[in-house]
Chains A and B, each alone.
Chain A
Amino acid sequence: MKMKHLKGIALAAAAVVGLAACGGSSSSSDTTAAAGGDYSNLKVAVVYIGVPGDAGYTYQHEQGIKELEAELGITVTRLENIPEGAESAATFDQLAAEGYNLIFGTSFGYMDPMLEVSAKYPEVCFEHATGYKTSTNMGTYFGAAEEARYLSGIAAGAASPTGKLGYVAAFPIPEVVRGLNAFTLGARSVNPKATVQVTWTSTWFDPAKEKEAAQALLQAGADVLGMHQDSTATGEAAMEAGAKWVGYNSDTLAGNFPDTWLTAPIWDWGPYYIKAAKSFAAGTCDVSQFYGNMADGTVKLGTFGSSVSAETQALIAEKAAAIIDGTFAPFTGPIKDNTGKEVIAAGVVAPLGDLLGMQYLVEGVIGEIPKS
């Protein structure tokens, strides 16, 4: 899709969202299938960047898809290992041509291909994770991992005697920067002198490279690691060095890391997948920009490892409750960036729009991101 059309699409999408919000529930009763829980008109497919066996990002989506299948009694077709970029359009095109009418894509790089194919198949509903472009038949879904990131930062800060933390991060994009900042804020809330050294790996899933990056951080003196990757390689490096670490995406492998596992921000996509499928079965393609959080259960904090003290767990539980009931947000001013400039004024809660485009590292992060 060419750039100049985007504004029009965005406006159209906004209008549709508005209409859906007003009339969604009343119109659903008279459309085709929903009434008796009959979902035979749904043909659902999900396109994965990786494989569910990654014990991370794709694994967590697969859990959500399984919940969807169980709840609706349908079978979802999975496409694994589909590379991002322009060529992925062929895959989405083929799915739509084969009669799939609800198609989920879980990776950022599917955005433009999905948008392009969505224009060709207006009757098919496309849902794209982690992107920002929508159309009359394409919505997005993602969530506030930063809430659980903040909580996991508390566990990390409390577990670090030296206050030197490390963070293995994929790319310096807003999503990753946001998580890194939340992690740092959490760590410094219990350990005000804590610093977080960041390493950018330029890859989402490359266990060997991630492990090397983690080892380099450990050698530089970090005693607790956080990470934003699709694999658990950071944890392997931490375990070999006897350091503590915070996972991401999933806590399914927590038991593999006795003593070194702290916790992890994790995703629960099931409720969203069920909501989107039911909405479409009732006649409405959800073209909103869904942004789940801890309050609606999309984002959670994983199980605690044995080295998170009862005191820390209680503190985290207290903060989690405050996040869920809306009395606390991780990005509440005053917050300075790591050059000393104030980025959020005292008492101000950063609006979602600012979070989604975040382009600074908070005080305490040792590292850089590209300047605009």
Chain B
Amino acid sequence: MIIGNYRIELEPRLSTPKWLYAAVPALSLLFAFVVGGVFIGLTGHSPIGTLSLLIERGYASTKGITNTLGSATPLICTGLAAAFAFRMNLFNIGEEGQMYLGMIGSAWAGIVLAGHLPGFVAVPMVLLFGALCGALWVLLPAVLRAKLGTSEIVSSLLLNYVALNLVNYFIFGSRGIFRDPTTSFPQGRLIEESARLGSFGTTRTYPTVLIAVALAIGLYWFMKRSNYGYETSVFADSPNTARYAGMSSTKLTLSVLLFSGALAGLAGSMYVVGPAGKVDPGLLQIGLGYAGIVVAALARYNFVAVILTAILFAGLREGGASLQISSNPVPISIAVVLQGSVLLFALGGEVFRRNRLRIRRVQQVSVAS
């Protein structure tokens, strides 16, 4: 691009200085708040006041941070699911549907199997069933990808709509095991009490948050230290090298996608053992699966960073919605603009981490003599 006498170019960095890893996200956030602030100002609200209210309601108050941690819990799982697959250039877009299947599988186990079991058996079993169902939901795209090379992007995405209709069918379209038998109103049947976890005190944070965080740290460690982690990273960089080294692309593709599906399924399970306690069509309205992809991208597919980006994202949502609770309420659409600009700048900032911005003076060649 040439402006006046200057040529502006991006050139790839050969190595990234350490400080940039911190500076780019920080500057991205700052820019996002400046741009979001302009929109807030245009609607007649104080940008600083609104931002500080957002931070207070989303992160900096006891209620804010505990609400945020509660809604971040399944988001960490879908974020890990996306990060795990995307790292190996396997683009599982089906976290949303896999999460619904996790909810269905967990509810089934919680209704049918959990009776008379003590909590320390019932809860892990219910979580496991959800993970299993999430993995099963990605089995078809995974096999198609591994055996026939069919794009997993399309097949996993399309299955989201199937899963959505499956949840609707179980609650609104049929009178099966998942539906509350005590009323003709359409809603899920509660799972056994023993298969549920209470929240911490009066907060909305559930112990499942500890599992999600432990999973993130465990995955980080495992993928760094294990043979398997090494193989997937070789495969991601160069499938041919991996094959030459005797690694099975079929096995790696299948295992990565299935484990990604299991993580997404676990998000649905955590929703069931925690706040919902049943197949709850409300989950269809909040898009935690799709949000997981954004969370993973923000974290640059780093498992530990997913914890932070999930909390950032959940807080923006919690805080953003509660900006309407004020004597001079900020409309929800402005809160969404703010969220969007944070995500856009955070992703856009990546360009400057990977590339160097060069501005050169252009020598003007004079034609007239």
Contacts and interface: CB of A to CB of B under 8 A. Distances in A.
A171 B73 CA distance: 30
B19 interface: no
Nearest to B184: A357
A95 B67 CA distance: 13
Contacts of A82: 321
Contact of B173 (A84, A86, A112, A200): A200
Interface string A66-105: 0000000001011111111111111101110110100000
Given A81-B332, A108-B185, A89 B275 contact: yes
A371 B71 CA distance: 35
Interface in B61-97: 63, 67, 70-71
Nearest to A94: B322
Interface stretch (B28-36, B138-146, B223-231, B277-285): B277-285
Given A85-B280, A173-B186, A93 B324 contact: no
B285 A83 contact: yes
Contact of A79 (B185, B187, B193, B324): B324
B190 A202 contact: no
B193 A2 contact: yes
Interface string A1-15: 011000000000000
A78 B327 CA distance: 10
Given A202-B173, A359-B184, A93 B67 contact: yes
Contacts, number: 109
Contacts of A129: none
B152 interface: no
A109 B281 contact: yes
Nearest to B169: A202
Given A94-B325, A132-B183, A202-B165, A80 B331 contact: yes
Given A90-B204, A93-B67, A172 B275 contact: no
B326 A80 contact: no
A371 B175 contact: yes
Nearest to B64: A94
A171 B184 CA distance: 13
Given A81-B332, A94-B63, A174-B184, A86 B271 contact: yes
Contact of A2 (B172, B173, B190, B326): B190
A45 interface: yes
Interface in B13-61: 57
Chain A interface size, under 10 / 10 to 19 / 20 to 34 / 35 or more: 35 or more
Contacts of B71: 87, 90
Interface string B187-224: 10010010000000010100000000000000000000
Contacts of B190: 2-3
A200 B271 CA distance: 28
Interface string B160-192: 000001001000111100000011111100100
Interface of B: 57, 63, 67, 70-71, 165, 168, 172-175, 182-187, 190, 193, 202, 204, 271, 274-277, 280-283, 285-286, 318, 321-322, 324-327, 329, 331-332
Given A87-B71, A90-B71, A112-B187, 17 more contacts: A2-B190, A77-B325, A78-B324, A81-B332, A85-B282, A86-B274, A86-B282, A87-B275, A90-B204, A91-B322, A132-B183, A132-B185, A173-B184, A173-B185, A173-B186, A202-B168, A359-B184
| A-B residue pairs, 5 tightest by C-beta | A85-B282, A83-B285, A86-B275, A357-B184, A86-B276
